[in-house]
Amino acid sequence: MEPTFNDYVGIIYNSFEAFTQASTEAKRVGHPLIYQHKSMIVFFMWMQFKRIYNFKTQWKWLNQHPEALGVLEWKRVPHRTSLSRRYKQLYRILEELVIYLGQGSGGLGDELSTAHLYEDQSLFKAHGPVWHQSDRQQGRIPPKLRHLDTDATWAKSAYHGWVYGYGLHLTVNNCGFPVMIQLETAAYDESRAMQAKQERILTVFKPETFCADDAYTQARRIRCWAQHGVILLTPALRWRKGRFAQAYRRFIQQPDMAALLRARRTTIEPIFDLIGKLLGVRGRQKQLPIQRLPNVRTCIGLSVLALQVAMLANSVWGFPFRAISTIKGAFA
């Protein structure tokens, strides 16, 4: 017995209802929404699994499949401009829902514990051609360059090389369950992303340890987090001078700390691969199927949420925790 499409939809609806009760982010003042956030999340996730990203095509699909309105609890098909507008607005809801599921699912088992967290960034190539930096800096678009994503920026990583696109700043637990996301253009600094997440990490999740790569090493941050009872672990490859640096390097070489640092690669890097597979992107640079930052944020955010839903279902049904084939088949 394996989870069905209705089971996954039920997890999303039930989780969103609990999230709405606990959070002001999903509550709306004024006239009630005709198309609720939870049904929009299910619909756009459904379309994403079917690789239908054009809003006009989504609108046509709804008109050709009136039975879908019952699943979505809609009385009529929304206009394609409404679909486009709601899609762009959905990211902030997804961002908060991911956090809610990350902090609220620990009671389901050790696989969902947030005692040890890991952080990293993965780059995604923008849909369409690249905008060479010399042209981009001058705001010049070559005459024959068509369908250019002008929101994207350039960044380089050891694994991806140079990428013109976007970056997913992801926080997961020691089993790879996502607990926090931040989607920015590729050039957005990792340390800046960490600073934006810091308050939530220290006051909401309160982990025992938090592991990240060398880009997140900052003496002031390590001290600050220690004062809040959180051990920030990084390789500290370039931080060697000074008494505090030497003491920190001795600390991270202790067997238990060293083991946590070694586990970072096998903990978080495969999760980026799973997110890419749910999104339907292939290759080292993972070229996106959609353009512009608001759309990209929702697109990747939906894949992260889909992974959370798959993992929650796997935990309940007793499937391998990182298996995604069942949810892909259910939504196909």
- Classify residue 283: in a domain, yes or no: yes
- State pLDDT tens for residues 60-76: 999 999 999 999 999 99
Q: Please state the pTM of the whole predicted model.
A: 0.94
159 lies in a domain?
Answer: yes
Q: Distance of CA 223 to CAs 219, 232, 233, Å?
A: 6, 9, 11
Domain coverage including residue 278: 113-289
Q: Are 97 and 305 contacting, i.e. CB atoms less than 8 angstroms apart?
A: yes
Average pLDDT, the chain: 92
Residue 323 has pLDDT above 50, yes or no: yes
Mean pLDDT for 125-141 is 91
Encoded tokens for 256: 């238990």
In a domain, 304, yes or no: no
CATH classification at residue 162: 3.30.420
CB of 272 within 8 A of CB of 281? no
- The model's confidence at residue 32, banded by pLDDT at 50, 70 and 90, is low
Provide the token pair at 172: 């997961």
Place of tokens 């370039």: 238
**Residues sharing a CB contact under 8 Å with residue 316, sequence separation 6 or more, in sequence order:** 3, 108
Helical residues (DSSP H) of 173-242, grouped into ranges: 190-200, 219-227
Domain annotation covers residue 175: yes
Q: Per DSSP, what are the bridge partners of residue 167?
A: 123, 184
Q: Which residues have C-beta within 8 Å of that of residue 36, sequence separation ≥ 6?
A: 73
- Cα(279)–Cα(300) distance, integer angstroms: 7
| Residue 147 belongs to a domain | yes
Domain count, the chain: 1
Tokens of 233: 């672990």
Q: What does the DSSP 8-state code read for residue 201?
A: I
Note the pLDDT tens digit of each residue in 206-238. Answer: 999 999 999 889 899 999 999 999 999 999 998
Alpha carbons 135 and 71: distance in angstroms, whole number: 47
Position 307 in a domain = no
139 found inside a domain? yes
Over range 129-154, report the average pLDDT.
90
Q: Is the separation of the CB atoms in 121 and 183 below 8 Å?
A: no
29: pLDDT confidence band, cut at 50, 70 and 90?
very low
On whether residue 236 sits in a domain, the answer given is: yes
